[in-house]
Structure 1
Amino acid sequence: MLSRTADHLYWMSRYTERAENIARMLEVSYRMSLQTPGTQAGYWGAALGINGLEEAYRAQYGVITGPNVLRFMTLDLGNPSSILSCLRAARENCHAVRGTVTSEVWETINTTWLDARESVQNHLHGSVQGSELTKFFEWVKFRSHLSRGVTVGTMLQDEAFHFARLGTFLERADNTARLLDVKFDELAPQSSASAEYYEWSALLRSVSAFEIYRKVYRDAITPQRVAELLILREDMPRSLHACMKEVHHILTLIANSRSQETLRLAGALYSRLRYSRIEDISERGLHDMLTRFLNITSDLGNRIAQDFLLPMA
């Protein structure tokens, strides 16, 4: 497969997944800011910090406020990591490989971008508030689910399919680690047990894990169990373990003469997640573990670009 084709497929999926992840994170931040209005700046600052956007935001808006953060991270096409920018980038990458993906994949991703752009122009008028906000986030998540489902359900499982899936799982792993790192630091023990329960529940809901947590643990929500679920559970779809299992498996399928070190690095990270215990991670420090994980996945992304895609500038 041509490197350029692989690159477009990989980034098509990364941008689609990124749009969903941003929608999830913003929805939780919005709900938590309504629950505890006095700490709004902290929630919205964390939302920017998760995606490394605080500096870019402050250069444009200055003081952190909920409406401005929502506008910046949802609709601002000048922000390459806004939901609208991600949907546009996914569409552009898909358009470049229309002959490689199925017509259903192209129609789904193209329609998502056209509908999002029309909604902004005709209904949202550059801002999103109240019930329209939560409806928009749910719509973004649904369209991302639809895109993945159409990809799995209609594409031949060849190299093109594998590169699309690789982008999905690497982006998902990165987002889960960032969310955990920022939120665990932010959600210090609360004086109110009910407030603490609400915030940990919101974190779980942001990765569709609240019902899974109840099924697995059948007990009160505790930080250590939340970390275990989202880091080490192989059967939790958005856990670091589950994502790196898929990344390692896909890299074995597309391996070439240059990718041995990339495959080794992914395998070593997967093995650590597979055989680690949450008690050992807690003892060494969750922040240190997540920082190392993010550094390794960043290195993996660069190596994947060098081995298979168009080298990153």
Structure 2
Amino acid sequence: MSFVSRSRVALAATVFGILGGIPPASAEPSADPADNANSPALAVARDEARILAYWTPERMASALPAEVPMTSGKAPISLKPIAPENSQRQEEGVEPRGGVSTLADVHSMSGRVFYTDDQGRNRSCSGSTVNSNGKRLVFTAGHCVHGGGSGRGWFSNWVFVPAYHQGSPHGTWTASGLWSKNGWINNADRAFDVGAAVMNLRNGTRIVDAVGGQGIKWGAAYGAYIFQFGYPADPPYNGSALHNCEGTTWNEGGFPTITCGMTGGASGGPWLESYGQNFWAYLYSVNSWMFWDPDPTRVYKWQGPYFSYDTAGSLYDSLKDL
């Protein structure tokens, strides 16, 4: 089975919280591409029912795949100092509360993302839960949370459906806020095409407690053997099932690259390192950019942003306690 997902990672740090504890967005966005940025509050309590009602099975089935990133990675290197202990780090994943169940595996930790983009179109991406102190994080591509570049904006009606297969045994989860990197938000630079959502509770339960969460690592070497997952929705796929590719990554212009035939809609899906050694694995990158010949139904490789502290690490640290 093969999956490819295109995701642009902009670390937009918006704290939306019906639970509190999320800092307000700054008035003046930073020019440093490695800084985080955030969206306005999304699903506060009064909006949650409306968003859940909006995503009917028919709307989910007709959602377009995510818009493809069009700009290569050329952002200036951040001058922000990085503590040595943060330059290369890994955080472990976790099983769902209560241990392994028959419904909890890579399928429950992966899911399909649905949203309305900043131009009013319903679209889909992929994503995965990531363990943290707050147990509420979903990581995806930056282009799955924000349009990227001048004149573009944050997305709305954002939901995550774990183990999607024309519905889910785990239900639909709404986001309280979206985050990405300024490099994506300001410049649509796919070197920073990383995004994350802080999810609302569902029936009083945090999402990672319900479905488990992957670990995450950054500063790792190229040439890792990874499993790549996503929900491709362009032909010959239809977005109804989780697919995967596997293989050894290589460095192509600074981007981890892998052979894979997944099509649009896989954007934001996880690249998992050490998959199969534990109940969970480590998020190594996300689907960001695909290559095809001669048309988008004939994809032959994918790239993702390199997970450094400037990209995935600082984003994770900003959100881990929310």
Q: Same fold (TM over 0.5)?
A: no
Q: What is the TM-score of this pair, normalised by structure 2? A: 0.26
Structure 1 length-normalised TM: 0.26
The answer to which structure has the higher helix fraction is 1
Of the two, which has the highest radius of gyration?
Answer: 1
Structure with the larger strand share? 2
